Amino acid sequence: MRNVHSRLLNHPIEEVRPWIERAWSGTDEDVFPRDYIRSWRKNPEGTPASALVEGVTKLGHGPFRFRLTQWDGNSWRVELADGSGWHGFRLESEGQKTRITHELEVHRKPLFRFFILPIHDWAVESIFDRLEAALATGKVPARTTRPMSSVTRALYQSARVFV
């Protein structure tokens, strides 16, 4: 299964990169909707907690665990810890604007598509919203404002039982 989201941001790529670097940090500068789903990042002892080290940095949200495989300033990519897929962001400069694209590719059972994909779609669009707010104000909003559809809310409430 492949899933793609894209948005054109009214900011140059140099302003977007630092916010992507802080994603999944679990800090106040994390654009992930962590007020709904806890996010985290872990590095080995002696490595700064905020570092993004390819092949080493582990991160995640909810029940999902990832390992960073790429961050070169334009492509941020992680693999699912169980090897069943990957997801990431691609940044492309379009003059003084930036196209951000999020891609997910997983090889999982159809239940994943039904149960998790609506929550994933909401989370990605929320990341884009929170990123736009951070770019405009210099601060990530404390609360995620993107509403969930009734179906997504029901799935989210059901998923909370398992995490």
Structure-model confidence comparison of residues 1 and 94, the more confident one: 94
Q: For 32-62, how does the pLDDT look when each residue is reduced to its tens digit (9 = 90+)?
A: 999 999 999 999 999 999 999 999 999 999 8
The pLDDT assigned to 161 comes to 53
pLDDT of residue 103: 97
Query: Domain holding 51: CATH number?
Result: 3.30.530.20
Show the domain range for 97.
2-160
Average pLDDT, the chain: 93
Give the separation between CA 4 and CA 2, rounded to whole angstroms.
7
Secondary structure, 3-state, 106-135: ECCCHHHHHHCHHHHHHHHHHHHHHHHHHH
pTM: 0.93
What does the H/E/C string look like for 4-66?
EEEEEECCCHHHHHHHHHCCCCCCCCCCCCCCCCCEEEECCCCCCCCCCCCCCCEEEECCEEE
pLDDT above 80: residue 159: no
Q: What one-letter code names the amino acid at 93?
A: S
Q: How many domains does the chain have?
A: 1
